[in-house]
Structure 1
Amino acid sequence: MNHVVTDAEVTTSALIYCRVSDKKQKTQGHGLESQEHRCRQFAEERGYDVEMVFPDDITGGVDFMKRPGMRAMLAYLDAQKGKPYVVIFDDLKRFARHTEFHLKLRREFAQRGARVECPNFKFEDTPEGVFIETVIAAQGQLEREQNRRQVIQKMTARVEKGYYVFHPPVGYCYAKDRVHGKILVPDEPVASIVREALEGFASGRLGSQVEVKRFLEGKPDFPKSGARGYVHPTKVKDMLERSAYAGCVEAPNWGVSLRKGHHEPLISFAAYERIQARLKGTANAPARKDINQDFPLRGFVLCDDCGEPMTSCWSKGRSQLYPYYLCDTPNCGSKRKSVRRADIEDGAEAILRNLQPARQLFAVAKAIFTDIWEMRRAEAIAARGAIETQLKETGKQIDSLLDRIMNATSPSVIGAYETRIAELERQKIRLAEQADSAVPSHGRLTEFIEPALTFLSNPWNIYKNGSFALKRTVLKLAFAEPLRYSRNEGYRTAETTFPFKVLADFSSLKCGMVGDPGIEPGMGLPGGVTVRCNGVLVIPCKH
C-alpha cells in the first residue's frame, strides 16, 4: 500500500539562505547574523525544522549561479532528491534583484520540489500573486540599476576631479586625508620595488617583461602568487600599462580621458610614455632562464668568428663538473669549441680594472661637471618660462574645444573634438611635469655627481662585490657594445661608453694646472687645448 505524504510532512524540513553584498557588511554590519535570526524565528513560528543555513558574502552580480552559497544550496537539494524542503529568505530582494533571474531561480527550486517562503512576503501560485511577485522583483531590479547608476556617476565625477577610485594598484593603498578624503598613497616597501621595476623597464635596464617578472620575483617584499613566489605575466603587463603610477587617472569606459591626479606618482610621466612606447614597439626576446650567477657574462660576450652571443654549460669530467663558455651558432668555425670560464671572466675583469682612471683627474672632472651643471641650470630657468607659456596656451585650446563641443551636433565632429582634447590633456600633463622638473635644485648636483664619480672611479670594485643583477648593470654602463672574444687571440679592443673614453683621453696626456695670472691674454698654450674650470686653466701639454 502506498504511503500518502501529508502537508505537515512536506513542510517539516527547511533551508535558510542569507546574503550580503560584501565581506565588510558581514564583519562590521552583522548582516548575515541578523538575517539568519529572523529566518529562524520565522521557521520556529511555523514549526519548521532548519537543517542547513547557506550564507553568501558576495553579490555575484545578477546571476545567482555565481554565488557559492546558492550553488551549494541547489547541490544540497539535488543530493536530497525526493525530499521536500522549504527555502526561507529574509527578504524578497535577497532572492534575486533581477526579474529574469528571479523567475529562473523560482523554476530551479520548483524543479527540485522546494517551496519558497519569506517573512515579509507571501508567495502565491495565483495570477494575482505571480503578478505582484513579478512587480516586486522588477522594483528590486530598478533599485539595483538606479543604485549602480548613482555609484558610477559619483565615481565618474571623482575621477574627473583627479582622484583614483578603483582597487589600489600594487604598491599603493588608500589613506584618509583632511583635504582630499580617500586618496592613494605609496605602500612601502612595495612602492619602491614597483618604482625600480618600472624605471628599469623604461630605461631599458630590464630588457623585457620577463626580466621585470624575474626582478619582482627576486624581491621578498613584493606580493606573489603561490608558495613558490610566482608573479603572473599578466600582472607585470598590467603594472606597465597603468597610468596611475605616473600620478594620472583615467576611466575610458566612463568617458574620462587621461588627466593629472592628486595622488603621489611613483614614476614620471615621461617614463610612463617611454614604457608605453616600448610595449607598442617590437617585442624584445625574453631573457633566458639559464642566465644565472654561474655565468654572469653569458649573452654579453660575443664569438669573434660569427658575432653571436656565446652560451655556457657545465661539462662533466671524471670526478666533477667543469664550467665552460662556447659558441653554439651553426656553421661557425668555433662551434662547440669550449673555452674555460676562467679565461673568459678573468679577461673581462682585467678590462674592467684597466678602466679605472687616475685619481687626480676626478677633481678636474668634478669641476667641469659643476660648471656645466650651473650653465645648464641657467638655461633651464629660461626654458621653464617658455614651457609655462605653452602650458597656458594648451589650456586655452582645451577650453576652446570644450565650447565647440557644446555647440556641435554632428557625432563625428564631437568625436574628433574629444580625440583632440585627449591629446591636449596628455600634452598638458607632459608640459606640467617638464615645468616642475625643468630647474633642478642645488642639492641634486651632489646626488647625481657622487654616485657617477664613484662608479667611474672603480667600476671593477662594484662589479666584484655586486649582485648578479648589479654585475649585468655595470657591464651595460661600462661598455657601449658587447665584448668580442677570439679563441686564439683573446678579447678584442673593448668599445667603452663615452665617460670612460673622455677620461682615457685625459689620461693619455700629461696635464698641468696654472692659475689665471700665469697666462697672458692671447698667449698660445702648449698642446693647443685649454679648459677653464672655476678660475683654473687645465692645460693638457706635450713634453
Structure 2
Amino acid sequence: MAKHLKNFWLNSMSDTNDKTQKTGAIIYLRVSTEEQVDNYSLDTQLDICKKEAERRGYSVLEVFREEGRSAKTIRDRPTLIELLEYCRKNRKNIGAVIVYRLDRISRQTADYLAIRKKLTEIDITLISASEPTGDTPTERFIETMLAGFAQMDNDVRGERSRNGMKARFLSGLPNGNIPLGYKSKNGYAVKDAEVFNILKSAWDQMAMGTKSLREMAEILNKQGLVASQKGRAEKLIRAQTLSCIFRNKFYAGKLTSRKYGLEVQGQHAPMITEEQFYKVQAILDGRNRNNAPELSKRNQDNPSFPLRRIIKCSRCKNSFTGAWSKGKKSRYGYYFCQKRCGTGSSVPVKVIEDTTSQLLDRISLQPETVKLINAYLKQAYFLRLGALRNKREEADTELKKIYELRQSLIEKNLNGVYSDDIFKEQNKLLEEKIGGLQAAKSDSVIDKYNLETITTFIQNKFTNLNDTFESSLLKQKRVLMCSIFPEGLNWSYPGYSNTQINPFYRCLIDVQEHKVKLGTPGGIRTPD
C-alpha cells in the first residue's frame, strides 16, 4: 500500500496551494455480500451519499463502485486505486470524497489515516455520510476513533473466524477444499458415490504394491476420473496428484493440521482403514516388508531375470540378482546371491527356469479341484451376500433411531432442558455412533466383487501355473510369484528348499491332496 500512496503523493505535489472553492465531489461505494443482507447495498449507499453531497453544496462528478471485495490491502482494491489516481489528475475540480462510512476506505486505521492525509495534502476532504467528520480537532479525533473502531471490529471478526475454523477442525469437520472422492453437503464431507468407489479401488491396488503412481494415473484417467476444484477447470490425474492423495490421512478417517499440530477423528466415512493407509505409505517410502515389488527399482529390471529379488539365499537370506556373463561365442545369464556368500555359486538362468517350472507344475490345481472350489465359492458368496444385506439393513435401522434421538436432543437443548455442555457431550457420543455405523455400511458393499470374473480367473490361471507364468508380462510374473510365495523362493543348491506358500493357496493344495475337506461355508475344516 505504501508504494501506491507514495506515487499518489509525489504526482500531486504541484498546485496544492490553490485554495479556491472546489464544488466537485467523488462518491466511493463498497459493499460485501454479507452487508447486502443488512441493507448496505450499493444503491442504498449511493442514495445517502448523494443527499449528503447536496446538503454540503457539492455536485457529484464521478461515482466509483467496488462490489463484493473484502481485501486486506489496497493493492487488492483496484477501484480505490483508480479513485486516487482520478483525484490526482482532477484535483483542481474535486473538493471532497464522500463515503457512506469511514470503514469503506479501509478497516485498518493506519491505512485509513494515510489515505486521508494524502487527500488533505491536495485539498480534498474525506466525508462520511453517516458519521461526524470535519477539520476541527474534535471532529478529527472522533474520525480517528471511528477508524480505530473499524479496525478493532475487523480484527475481532478475524479472530472469531479463526476460532470458528479451529473449533470446526476439533469437531472433526474439514476446513477448505474437500478431497477427491468426497463432496460438501450441509457443512459435512460426504461420499461422492461414483468417484469414491473408483478411488477406493485405486487404494486397494496401491496396497498390493504392484502399480507405480504413473501407472495408477493412467488407469484412473482411462476410467474418466478427473481432478477438479471449485472454480477451476478439470484436469487429468497425474502422478503428483496421486502422491498427494495417497499421503492424505483424510481417506483413513482422520483430519490433520500442520497449523494446529493436531490430528483428530473426522466425522466423515473413511475410505480405507488406518492399516491400509500405513501399508501404502510403506510402499511409497520403499519400506514394504511383505516383498511387494520395489517399484522405483524393479521397473528398470531386465525381463530376462524375472525372479531377481524374489529368490532368496538360504544361507544369508539376501536376495538373488541376475547378470550376463560373456563367453567366447555368446552371452550367458546367471542368478547369484548379492552377498556372494558361496551358496551354489552362480546359478545359470536355465537351471532356475527349469526348477521353477517343476515347482509350478507341482502346485498347479487340477481341473476337478478348481470346479469343486468354484462351487464352494459360489455357495459361500451368496450366503455372505445375504449376511451383508442384513448388516446394512440393521445399520440403517440403528441410524434412523440415532437420528431421531439426536433431533430430540436438539429440541430439548433449545427448550432449556439440557445445558449446552450436556448437549455437546451427548451429541459427540451420537456422532461417534453414526460414524461407526456409516463405516460398517461402507464395509458391507455387496457388489464389490464379480463372482463370475473370480471363478473364471481361477480356472484359467491356476490349472497350469507354468503356462500362466510364461505367458505373463514381467510385472505380472512378479505379482504371481509374490502372491503365491510371499516370503520369496529359498534357493539351496541344487533347488528350492523350505519355500513357504501363501496360506490361502496352501489350503487349496491341501484340498486337492485330500488333507482337508471343504465344510460348510463358514470356512475350511480338517477331517474328523
TM-score, normalization by structure 2? 0.54
Residues 18 and 479 (structure 1 numbering): CA distance in 2 closer, same or farther, change over 3 Å?
farther
Matched, 1:289 2:292: no
Distance in structure 2 (CA, Å) of the matches to 1:109 and 1:320? 90
Residue of structure 2 in register with 1:515 after alignment: none
CA contact (8 A) 2:370 2:458 kept: no
SS class of match (2:480): helix
Residues 367 and 104 (structure 1 numbering): CA distance in 2 closer, same or farther, change over 3 Å?
same
Deviation (angstroms), 1:471 = 4.5
Residue of structure 2 in register with 1:81 after alignment: none
* Superposed CA offset, 1:287-322 (max 9, x none): 562220534545433233311234567899999999
Matched, 1:274 2:275: yes
Residue of structure 1 in register with 2:142 after alignment: 131
Q: Which amino acid aligns with 2:15?
A: T
1:300 to 310, 313, 330: 310
Residues 387 and 132 (structure 1 numbering): CA distance in 2 closer, same or farther, change over 3 Å?
closer
Deviation (angstroms), 1:56 = 11
CA contact (8 A) 1:163 1:249 kept: no
Distance in structure 2 (CA, Å) of the matches to 1:173 and 1:283? 27
Distance in structure 2 (CA, Å) of the matches to 1:370 and 1:492? 35
Residues 232 and 185 (structure 1 numbering): CA distance in 2 closer, same or farther, change over 3 Å?
closer
Residues 362 and 149 (structure 1 numbering): CA distance in 2 closer, same or farther, change over 3 Å?
same
1:231 to 219, 240, 256: 240
Distance in structure 1 (CA, Å) of the matches to 2:428 and 2:189? 24
CA contact (8 A) 1:371 1:533 kept: no
Matched, 1:240 2:246: no
Distance in structure 2 (CA, Å) of the matches to 1:361 and 1:226? 48
CA contact (8 A) 1:172 1:185 kept: yes
1:168 to 165, 171, 178: 178
2:319 to 286, 309, 313: 309
2:484 to 466, 469, 478: 478
CA contact (8 A) 2:127 2:134 kept: no
CA contact (8 A) 1:302 1:310 kept: yes
Q: Percent identity?
A: 17
Q: CA RMSD in A?
A: 7.2
1:196-275 to 2 correspondences below 5 Å:
196-200=201-205, 204-206=207-209, 215-216=216-217, 220=221, 223=227, 229=238, 231=240, 235-236=244-245, 239-242=248-251, 267=271, 271-275=272-276
Residue of structure 2 in register with 1:505 after alignment: 510
Deviation (angstroms), 1:135 = 1.4
Residues 282 and 508 (structure 1 numbering): CA distance in 2 closer, same or farther, change over 3 Å?
closer
Deviation (angstroms), 1:195 = 1.7
1:426-445 to 2 correspondences below 5 Å:
426=432, 428-431=434-437, 433-434=439-440
Residue of structure 1 in register with 2:524 after alignment: none
Residues 235 and 183 (structure 1 numbering): CA distance in 2 closer, same or farther, change over 3 Å?
closer
* Superposed CA offset, 1:212-271 (max 9, x none): 687458755564999995517972465333457x9x999x99x9x85765xxx683xxx3
Distance in structure 1 (CA, Å) of the matches to 2:513 and 2:300? 36
Residues 397 and 274 (structure 1 numbering): CA distance in 2 closer, same or farther, change over 3 Å?
farther
Residue of structure 1 in register with 2:369 after alignment: 361
SS class of match (2:490): strand
Residues 169 and 479 (structure 1 numbering): CA distance in 2 closer, same or farther, change over 3 Å?
same
Residues 429 and 342 (structure 1 numbering): CA distance in 2 closer, same or farther, change over 3 Å?
farther
Deviation (angstroms), 1:425 = 4.4
Q: Which amino acid aligns with 2:485?
A: F
Residues 312 and 9 (structure 1 numbering): CA distance in 2 closer, same or farther, change over 3 Å?
farther
Which consecutive unaligned segments of at least 5 residues does structure 1 have? Answer: 26-30, 78-85, 510-526, 535-539
Distance in structure 1 (CA, Å) of the matches to 2:17 and 2:476? 78
CA contact (8 A) 2:247 2:281 kept: no
Residues 370 and 227 (structure 1 numbering): CA distance in 2 closer, same or farther, change over 3 Å?
closer
Deviation (angstroms), 1:139 = 3.9
Q: Which amino acid aligns with 1:501?
A: R
Distance in structure 2 (CA, Å) of the matches to 1:394 and 1:281? 38
Distance in structure 2 (CA, Å) of the matches to 1:218 and 1:19? 49
TM-score, normalization by structure 1? 0.53
Residues 432 and 311 (structure 1 numbering): CA distance in 2 closer, same or farther, change over 3 Å?
same
Distance in structure 2 (CA, Å) of the matches to 1:126 and 1:148? 35
Residue of structure 2 in register with 1:194 after alignment: 199
CA contact (8 A) 1:314 1:322 kept: yes
SS class of match (2:481): helix
1:96 to 102, 106, 110: 106
Residues 211 and 260 (structure 1 numbering): CA distance in 2 closer, same or farther, change over 3 Å?
same
CA contact (8 A) 1:314 1:323 kept: yes
CA contact (8 A) 2:109 2:148 kept: yes
Residues 449 and 359 (structure 1 numbering): CA distance in 2 closer, same or farther, change over 3 Å?
closer
Deviation (angstroms), 1:69 = 6.7
Aligned length: 448
* Superposed CA offset, 1:395-414 (max 9, x none): 999999x99x95798xxxx8
Residues 186 and 311 (structure 1 numbering): CA distance in 2 closer, same or farther, change over 3 Å?
farther
Q: Which amino acid aligns with 1:272?
A: T
Residues 437 and 226 (structure 1 numbering): CA distance in 2 closer, same or farther, change over 3 Å?
closer
CA contact (8 A) 2:227 2:236 kept: no
Distance in structure 2 (CA, Å) of the matches to 1:430 and 1:508? 43
CA contact (8 A) 1:311 1:326 kept: yes
* Superposed CA offset, 1:365-407 (max 9, x none): 122334444666677789889989998999999999x99x957
Deviation (angstroms), 1:96 = 3.4
Deviation (angstroms), 1:357 = 1.5
Residues 462 and 238 (structure 1 numbering): CA distance in 2 closer, same or farther, change over 3 Å?
same
